[in-house]
Amino acid sequence: MTDQDQRWGIIGGTGVTSLEGLEIKERREMSTPWGAPSAPLVVGEIEGASAVFLPRHGDPHRIAPHEVNYRANLWAMRELGVTRIIAVNAVGSMHGSMVPGSLVLPDQLIDYTWGRGHTYYEGQLEQTEHIDFTFPYCETLRQKMAESARRHGLPCTAGGVYGCTQGPRLETAAEIVRLERDGCDIVGMTGMPEAALARELELDYACLALVVNWAAGKTAELITMDDIRRNLEAGIGHVGQVLRDLMQA
Ligand code: HPA
């Protein structure tokens, strides 16, 4: 398969309900054996490349992280021929150099979520597979994004451990200390089971995380939605730049 035959999938996170530069061809209302995706899938072209966009929390933003139908979202993308996915995730940071407004391209994750539909291997199966998940993200996609960030001089850390919590509440200060002790650098609520489901479907998948706050207890101040919104606005242009570069390549 050449790069031209591949179709990109972009999953938008908090603050990303549309994709700048996407020339929309159609909106596909879909149903899957796992239920309905978060929203109609937006099919179009960006920088000449075929792409499908899906806002993870719906449009408008209304689905909480633990209620997102991750299985339906990825299934629907694959139905539309998507082969590689960039997942945009807003995160908090525990790491001094991963500052609010900057990007992180994690290379590992730890899953703290529970009770989410987290696998396609469920029900009356003839056979269960145990997917390898040693390296949860696609290295090629990570490297391409890192290169783009470097080229444009964007604030970006290539590497880090994403801790995925259940939400929708933010963490306690003690929980963040525990996550740090576990080796986490950033914390979010939507990275899992999405990454594992993508692997089960054999889709290339990488996370483009945007830091929108210091994690709980990392500063003297409490976390406010206003601060999160401000940092989202500050960093969302970087996300768009990296995505456009990828599509052009
Ligand atoms: N914790 C969990 N999820 C998040 C955070 C956070 O601090 N910020 C954005 N998503």
What mean pLDDT is predicted for residues 206-219?
A: 98
Q: Which residues contact 73 (CB under 8 A, 6 or more apart)?
A: 11, 37, 38, 54, 56, 194
Ligand 1 in reach of 89 Cβ (< 6 A): no
Q: How far is the CA of 138 from the centre of ligand 1 (A)?
A: 23
pLDDT at 193: 98
**For 59-88, what is each residue's pLDDT tens digit?**
888 999 999 999 999 999 999 999 999 999
Question: How many other CB atoms are there within 10 angstroms of residue 244's CB atom?
Answer: 17
For residue 197, pLDDT over 60 is answered with yes
What residue segments make up the domains of the chain, in order of their start? Answer: 3-117+134-248
- DSSP bridge partners of 161: 108
Ligand 1 in reach of 16 Cβ (< 6 A): no
**For 89-119, what is each residue's pLDDT tens digit?**
999 999 999 999 999 999 999 999 999 999 9
Task: Report the distance separating Cα 80 and Cα 67, nearest Å.
Answer: 23
Q: Give the HSE-up count for residue 41: Cα atoms under 13 Å, Cβ half-sphere.
A: 25
The DSSP secondary-structure symbol of 156 reads E
Residue whose CA lies nearest to ligand 1 atom number 2 = 188
Alpha helices (H) along the chain: 70-79, 139-152, 173-182, 194-200, 225-248
pLDDT at 5: 67
Q: What is the gyration radius of the CA atoms in the chain, in angstroms?
A: 17
Ligand 1 in reach of 104 Cβ (< 6 A): no
Structure tokens at 184: 């986490």
The H or E element that residue 89 is part of is: strand 82-93
Q: How far is the CA of 127 from the centre of ligand 1 (A)?
A: 37
Residue whose CA lies nearest to ligand 1 atom number 3 = 188
How much is the pTM? Answer: 0.96
Q: Is the peptide bond before 193 cis (omega within 30 degrees of 0)?
A: yes
Residue whose CA lies nearest to ligand 1 atom number 7 = 92
Residue 14 contacts residue 90 (beta carbons within 8 Å) = yes
**Who has greater pLDDT, 203 or 15?**
203
Question: What mean pLDDT is reported for the chain?
Answer: 94
What mean pLDDT is predicted for residues 34-38?
A: 97
Decide if domain 3-117+134-248 falls under CATH 3.40.50.1580.
Answer: yes
Q: How far is the CA of 1 from the centre of ligand 1 (A)?
A: 37
Ligand 1 in reach of 76 Cβ (< 6 A): no
For residue 126, pLDDT over 90 is answered with no
Residue 164 contacts residue 207 (beta carbons within 8 Å) = no
pLDDT at 85: 98
**For 142-176, what is each residue's pLDDT tens digit?**
999 999 999 999 999 999 999 999 999 999 999 99
